[in-house]
Structure 1
């Protein structure tokens, strides 16, 4: 389901620093140019095809979702990544589509990107919806890059160095993933198959490189962009967290004690803890998308 019910799906390529940014656009059927628009920003090793479940639940809403640089069909962009670089790419994407301001939704690393984007280009953002990401993670100081990536992402990062004979072998690899037990769908298969690219040696690899993932993971956890953005947070911001992580393990990315400290530090952030989901299924499952789409419709209704 690249497209979604009540939407027409297309892709565009937008010139950015170092190459071209691919994005998916879902135009609502029978909707004019004044249809509300939302910008959806995916996670650290994902792509724009993480979002069709949510799109399907947004009739009448135009949805724009990029493959962030280094991911999906944007993986040929040269140059460093990092939150500020992604934010600049989002500005170029909105410019290309003639969108002045929009509600922005960020999942996982996309939440960090969205917070920085709102700080660097405040006039382009009306409201922020962060889904299990965007506020600092609880990671020890002094870790090496590899330790930081492994500690946060675990097998999600390890697979980036793996090679696969074909899409079938890649899907078999993911079928064993604990996060998707009971949540396997055709939409998920299409999302995963899109991730594969030719490695040039007769096999296939995930589109996202380990180096890109490492650069972004370090920046969003130890760089200056996120602290500055959070210190200057000025947009209405809503955070949804879930109790299980990337391996379907408790307590998830935001343990209750750490989360309480964050919410005390950033009291303007409206928080909702949603039981029954892990870091993936809150976006990439029908019931998780129900939660996110309902929250997003509320954010659209609350726009000034």
Structure 2
């Protein structure tokens, strides 16, 4: 695996780490999932044509941007994506993508600054989630992402112990490959005997609550789209089982309502392997070809 270049992106309040994959003149900018990092795009980047470069951000509170200050939330993350597009886009519109929570970040960036982007690729995210109006967002967050959030405060004796947590994960272990291993190793921080994730619980909880309570604003972002967009969605979810994160009926409903949004079902994958498994080639192909 070719090691990406590590770059710094000055943003309001601090600096973010950005991984540059490739050396081509054509540019794509990417945002990762809620507890993930820029390294989650390594498999996609490997399948890019040689004339492309992918600039993947470590969002505030994650990866090597873990110490970057707030504000957190989708407006802030989207502004950071736009800053990356302006810094490395060479004055031309660039391709934009996001996976999971990052898809909502990318959607917001495209809706707010469409002049910066010529296409948008949403990967298993980006559609408003149907949440009951009287639901407690913290309780719902714990019900859906409880084990993921709990991992952020746990400590492990060695790299191997931390890796074992992911090797035992039902959505990752059966599909283990070099890209998943590199992604997990990139996330490890701390002294030997007290290792843990770089992702910070505070920013993760903040963004998770906003994700669950902002269906209306994400719907407005979709309605405002003036950039051609594609949505790729997986049949299996966070635990590697059906249903997926985005039910087909939800996808069909929004595709019918948003003229510039097309959708594509990606078979034989889950929420993680759509990005870090064999379908990474599909993601790269769709990202580098104009949306219809």
Partner of 1:128: 120
Which structure 1 segments of 5+ residues have no match?
4-8
Alignment of 1:230-269 (within 5 A): 230-269=222-261
User: How far does the alpha carbon of each residue in 1:173-213 deviate from its partner, in whole angstroms, 9 at most, with x for none?
Assistant: 11110001331112211210111222x79512211122211
Alignment of 1:88-107 (within 5 A): 88-100=79-91, 101-107=93-99
Partner of 2:58: 67
Aligned partners of 1:99, 1:82: CA distance in 2, in Å? 27
Partner of 2:287: 296
What's the secondary structure of 1:283's corresponding residue? Answer: helix
User: How far does the alpha carbon of each residue in 1:246-297 deviate from its partner, in whole angstroms, 9 at most, with x for none?
Assistant: 1012111112233333333334310111110000000111x11121112123
Alignment of 1:50-199 (within 5 A): 50-60=40-50, 61-100=52-91, 101-198=93-190
What's the secondary structure of 1:271's corresponding residue? Answer: strand
Partner of 2:26: 36
Partner of 1:216: 207
Match of 1:17 among 12, 18, 21: 12
Shift of the 20–2 alpha-carbon distance from structure 1 to 2, 3 Å rule, reads farther
Aligned partners of 1:208, 1:228: CA distance in 2, in Å? 29
Contact 1:138 1:254 in 2 (8 A): no
User: How far does the alpha carbon of each residue in 1:205-238 deviate from its partner, in whole angstroms, 9 at most, with x for none?
Assistant: 2111222111112222323642331221111110
Aligned partners of 2:260, 2:145: CA distance in 1, in Å? 28
User: How far does the alpha carbon of each residue in 1:7-64 deviate from its partner, in whole angstroms, 9 at most, with x for none?
Assistant: xx31111121222100011233xx5xxx211112211111110011111111321111
Aligned partners of 2:193, 2:14: CA distance in 1, in Å? 25
Q: Once superposed, which parts of structure 1, at least 4 consecutive aligned residues long, lie more than 3 Å away?
A: none
Aligned partners of 1:245, 1:97: CA distance in 2, in Å? 33
Aligned partners of 2:251, 2:21: CA distance in 1, in Å? 34
Aligned partners of 1:154, 1:264: CA distance in 2, in Å? 33
Aligned partners of 2:268, 2:22: CA distance in 1, in Å? 31
Shift of the 289–24 alpha-carbon distance from structure 1 to 2, 3 Å rule, reads same
Contact 1:277 1:288 in 2 (8 A): yes
Q: CA RMSD in A?
A: 2.0
User: 1:154 Cα shift?
Assistant: 4.0
User: How far does the alpha carbon of each residue in 1:121-175 deviate from its partner, in whole angstroms, 9 at most, with x for none?
Assistant: 1111111011100111233333333223223334222212221122111101111
Shift of the 268–27 alpha-carbon distance from structure 1 to 2, 3 Å rule, reads closer
Contact 1:148 1:217 in 2 (8 A): no
User: 1:83 Cα shift?
Assistant: 0.7
Match of 2:198 among 207, 214, 222: 207
Contact 2:35 2:199 in 1 (8 A): yes
